[in-house]
Chains A and B, each alone.
Chain A
Amino acid sequence: MSGTSLTGWGRTGFSQARVLRPRHDDEIAQIYRDERFVIARGLGRSYGDAAQLGGGVVLDNRGFDQIGPVAADGTVRLGAGVSFDELLTVALPLGWFVPVTPGTRQVTMGGALGADVHGKNHHVDGSFASHVRALRVVTPQGTFDVSPERDPELFWGTFGAMGLTGFVTELTLALAPVETDQVLVDTDRFDNLEAVMNAMIDGDANYHYSVAWVDCMTRGKHLGRAILTRGEHATRDEVAEVSLRAPRTGRLRVPFAPPSGLLNRASVRAFNELWFRSAPRHEAREPQSIQSFFHPLDGVRDWNLLYGKRGFVQYQFVVPDDHAATIEAVITRLSSAKVASFLAVLKRFGPGNRGPLSFPRAGWTLALDLPVGAPTLARVLDELDDLVLEAGGRIYFAKDARLDAAKVGAMYPRLGEFRELKERVDPRGQLTSDLARRLHLVGN
């Protein structure tokens, strides 16, 4: 068949699909009648194979691009193909910020709810789902307007389900008021993992945003040395000049994929060292832009190409608070394995939500980027999965490209509820993806 070659942000498994861009709910209903297998795709920022479907039809959601007026209470009705970047361009000058933002603005609303994304404020505000008031989901069994009150099973079941419950065309989102476009940031440097984790346990409640960057390549007494950044939106009184300008995507671009191996153990170690040493031991109330605090990687377009032809995988897991020791066990295993890993992101989650496939739950989450190429990497990550499982934790589907299907049921014990919902809205199993097939989330 003629089609488009699609892959995730990690550029690992390519597959070919026919891409369509519907603009109305009716068109999608017709596609369900005409085609056997279908999945939605936004801007392709999932790292693995969630938004691709070999031999099937991929529905680009960017045709649903309208943004309604922002109501006095901050709610806005908008198309699921709108990106965070586009929404902020409209909303920030009016004094509204997105209630939850992932690490890039190049994610659509549909992608954000499919993955039920979280941000640096999860410990305070929960995940994306907590701020969505209503959804319109087009399923093979019809179009449903759902909310926490109306058909809560389909509403909650859609968050984290990676598009497998239907194609979301519109949503109502509650925005958060801000007075300026600046964030006041406290930065602290810690020489080891224990110190930074203690600081997060003691202090996170005092901050709206909190995240730590951890070096996973140092060993011994500097194992897990880290830089903790925590911040608040600046109020009018706290800045010299009040402004509400939307962030702009950087003009720098990675022009082509260099040979795999550019990012190797030596170069990554050097980068980590430089990053760590350039951070202040302690700095308080430093004003930062939205771009540099929330979306530093948006400064360089197509940065994923830096990992070369073979691409990279991102590994992200969460473990409950009473298994915080797993974080150290994972970093110890990684630092002794011969793999290159960039600074990892460590964050404390608040409680999870009702979505059976929603990733966040109370505890600790760690995310790291790993270039494909080290021969031991596949096995090391399988071992880490076992550590995570023993701790009662789970892997994040939006990042995954390699988890063993046999472990999914134990990581997501409410998979059965999701499958019941699936039976109701998609009895023929039309909504599937390379990810769903690989992890046996649904029947084939």
Chain B
Amino acid sequence: MENAFGQPQNVVILGGSSDIARAITKKLCAARTSTVVLCGRDQTLLDASAAEARDYGATRTDTVLFDAVDPSNAARVVEEAFAKVGEQVDLVIVAVGLLGDQLAMQNEAEAAARMITVNVTWPVAALAEVRRRLVEQGRGRILVMSSVAAIRVRSVAYLYSGAKAGLDRLCDGMADSLEGTGVTLQLLRPGVVRTKMTTGIPDIPFTTGPNEVAEYVMKGLASGERVIWSPPILRYVFAILRHLPRPLFRKIADR
């Protein structure tokens, strides 16, 4: 059960071995989270993340192994994760995602399709099952990892940005649809974060580390705001960027 400050006790994390998810897990466990079920595709990383969660105060951790290239497993993964929690789930974090190498994928049908499967289709399938279960509980929260890249799709990463844009817009509508159910959905839109996924990408302005993202997530869970920007100033930066004339935007973003 979540407390008055938006601090959950029972948490399910889909994509639980990503660096951002791990940073969030640590902060949650340091507050009130006692049960964490981590779901991901690398057992070693999941186990490491679970051990970390226990170090930070979790009393019960478990893992579910899955690969997001196959959306037909999504409902089963969610079912298994909820069963392993065994009580009402307070928060589900959807942090499944793939950045990929645009140049290597843009001429490859299968690779391009996989970007949509992992970044959109699997999360959307999982969200359908999560939604059903939380609405039945009469309460609960969903946090979906989007990206500032979803706000305006860049030519050099259109597969990733476009996929995130799809997920982001879809979740915005889903959040509205949940009104009056006791369930809420919040979107996390981080800027560039220094993680294993972004290794090799140069630091651009407003780049943060995973711990800073986790800090903004904790604040966002407390305030309940629909969109959590990390860092918050990006809300204003992207309010401008999204309306820039195309030539100017490309001059800034096409690199």
Contact = CB atoms under 8 A, between A and B. Distances in A.
Tell me whether A and B are bound partners: yes
Interface of A: 1, 3, 5, 10, 12-17, 48-49, 53-56, 310-311, 313, 372-373, 375, 377-378, 401-405, 434-435, 437-438, 444
Given A5-B180, A15-B182, A310-B223, A10 B135 contact: no
Contacts of B219: 375
A12 B183 CA distance: 14
A81 B71 CA distance: 51
Given A1-B136, A54-B182, A375-B219, A10 B88 contact: no
Interface size class of B (residues with CB under 8 A): 20 to 34
A3 B2 CA distance: 20
Contacts of A403: 3
Interface in B211-255: 219, 222-224
A49 B1 contact: yes
B108 interface: no
A146 B32 CA distance: 39
B87 interface: yes
Please indicate which of the listed interface residues B5, B136, B180 has the most CB atoms of chain A within 10 Å of its own CB.
Answer: B5
Chain A to chain B: the 4 pairs with minimum beta-carbon distance, closest first: A16-B182, A438-B1, A54-B139, A16-B138
A403 to B, nearest CB: 8
Contact of A16 (B34, B87, B139, B224): B139
A360 B104 CA distance: 69
B4 interface: yes
A386 to B, nearest CB: 15
> By DSSP majority rule, is chain A's interface helix, strand, loop, or mixed?
loop
6 contacts: A12-B5, A13-B3, A14-B182, A54-B139, A372-B222, A437-B1
A261 B223 CA distance: 12
Contacts of A437: 1, 87-88
A438 B9 contact: yes
A434 B1 CA distance: 7
Contacts of B135: 1, 16
Given A5-B182, A375-B222, A401 B139 contact: no
B7 interface: yes
Contacts of A49: 1
A313 B139 contact: no
Nearest to A377: B5
B195 interface: no
